[in-house]
Amino acid sequence: MVIALALAGCAAGPDFKQPAAPEVKGYAKEPLPATTSSAATIGGTAQQFVEGMDIPAQWWTLFNSPALNAVIEQALKANPDLQSAQAALRAAQEQASAQQGAFLPSVNASLAPTRQKQPLSAGQGPSPFNLHTAQVSVSYTLDAFGGNRRQVEGLQAQAEQQKFLLEAAYLTLTSNVVAAAVQEAALRAQIAATQEVLKVQGELLVLLQRQYQLGDVAQADVLAQQAALAQTQASLPPLQKSLALQRDLLTVLAGRFPSEELEQKFDLASLSLPQQLPVSLPSSLVQQRPDIRSAEAQLHAASAAVGVAAANMLPQITLSANIGSAAAQIGDLFTSGTGLWSLVGGLTQPLFAGGALLHKKRASEALLEQAAAQYQSTVIHAFQNVADSLRALQYDADALQAQYLAERAAARSLEISRKSVQLGAATPQTLLTAQQTYQQAVIALAQAQAARFADTVALFQALGGGWWNRGETLAATAK
């Protein structure tokens, strides 16, 4: 026992050390510009990159949309995936607490009334007879080599992992809601643009029909315009279908059935583009990304598992004691002469198990190496996510600026072509070409506008979503 107590401060296996932050100074080789390009249209606001700027916990409020805030509030209350992650965290916390019970002795009380009949040849007194036994049993396994401590450490690490999986579920849910709202707004913009093109094409069809009646254009020109109008009309149902599917997605994210459609609707004009964008320091990102923190906790659990496997190869020391009373009549229990007790100490040293314990230890060491590689992969991909989002914000802003100029030029070209055909100075084929160019330009403009909002959502998600700034953590509310 003296030796065991002396060893009590030791624990088999490696002591976990938090991985160091990557020694990189930025997310890309080239420095970011101070601001993005701008355009005089929806979603064309110039955005400024602010290094080291913190992220608010409710980052979606930066889009200044009360409708969006309301949908996210509903989703956080009713989304079953988030509720499932909260329940998984509670289960992991309870399992860690349950394992801590092994640090204390196990105490059980028992009462065993029996009635027995012995053969006469046994010569053991009257038969049958009654025997009532009441006793308290105490057993305790000394954690001499830290096996239980490593098990508790591993379960606590698993609970920590589940905590950050919950944070990841929270971030994914809120990001998906905002992204779905942006996509809905983009589809509405494309539908509105298509309808505008249909209106213009309808007016031009009337113009060509009038000129055909006057003999200024051929019937083939009228039919070509009718075909262009029909082709544009055919592009509208797929957009309307996508919008309907997007509405279903947004409703489901809010924890409702598709038939319980949300009353909130979104268009690009109702969303504001945040002008200042945070760029977390690389050394901070590993503390802010829930997936990195989850991978770190998984690495911690794998480290503890090595200690458990190592401790299983070392002696196991157990102590047990019983004290109680046995009497023929239950009323005579605990009277003089009925007492009983025992005290047992045991030491078990595994000697041969067919190599099972050794191979289990080697397996746990291999799993530790796997967890370390997975952690490194998670960190690298997290940095890639941020780099991709920053580059997307930069180049999509340039694309929107160019697309806005292209749409304006296409609109002017269409107007000039319409007047030229009306005056007989240009062929209807020129008008058709101008219509097609304008149609492509207005659809592309709507898509470029939506990309700016989607890029901003992606950046907030890539940086971790500001969960550390919430007054109350999800882990606390899950208890």
> What's the rounded mean pLDDT across residues 34-44?
92
Phi and psi of 109, rounded to 5°?
-110, 140
Tell me, what's the pLDDT at 278?
A: 93
- Nearest Cα to Cα of residue 147 among 386, 364, 323, 400: 364
The percentage of residues in the chain with a pLDDT greater than 70, rounded to a whole number, is 94
pTM: 0.87
Q: Answer whether 39's CB lies under 8 Å from 404's CB.
A: yes
Q: What is the pLDDT of residues 431-445, one digit of tens each?
A: 888 888 988 999 999
Q: What is the pLDDT of residues 205-219, one digit of tens each?
A: 888 898 888 888 889
Q: Exposed/middle/buried for 299, CB within 10 Å: 0-12, 13-18, 19+?
A: buried
Tell me, what's the pLDDT at 9?
A: 55
Which amino acid is residue 78, in one-letter code?
A
> What's the rounded mean pLDDT across residues 120-134?
71
What is the CATH number assigned to the segment(s) 26-104+144-313+370-477? 1.20.1600.10
Q: What is the pLDDT of residues 258-317, one digit of tens each?
A: 999 999 999 999 999 999 999 999 989 999 999 999 999 999 999 999 999 999 899 989
Domain ranges of the chain: 26-104+144-313+370-477
Beta bridge partners of 324: 135, 340
Task: Say yes or no to pLDDT of 145 above 60.
Answer: yes
Tell me, what's the pLDDT at 450?
A: 94
Q: Answer whether 454's CB lies under 8 Å from 46's CB.
A: no
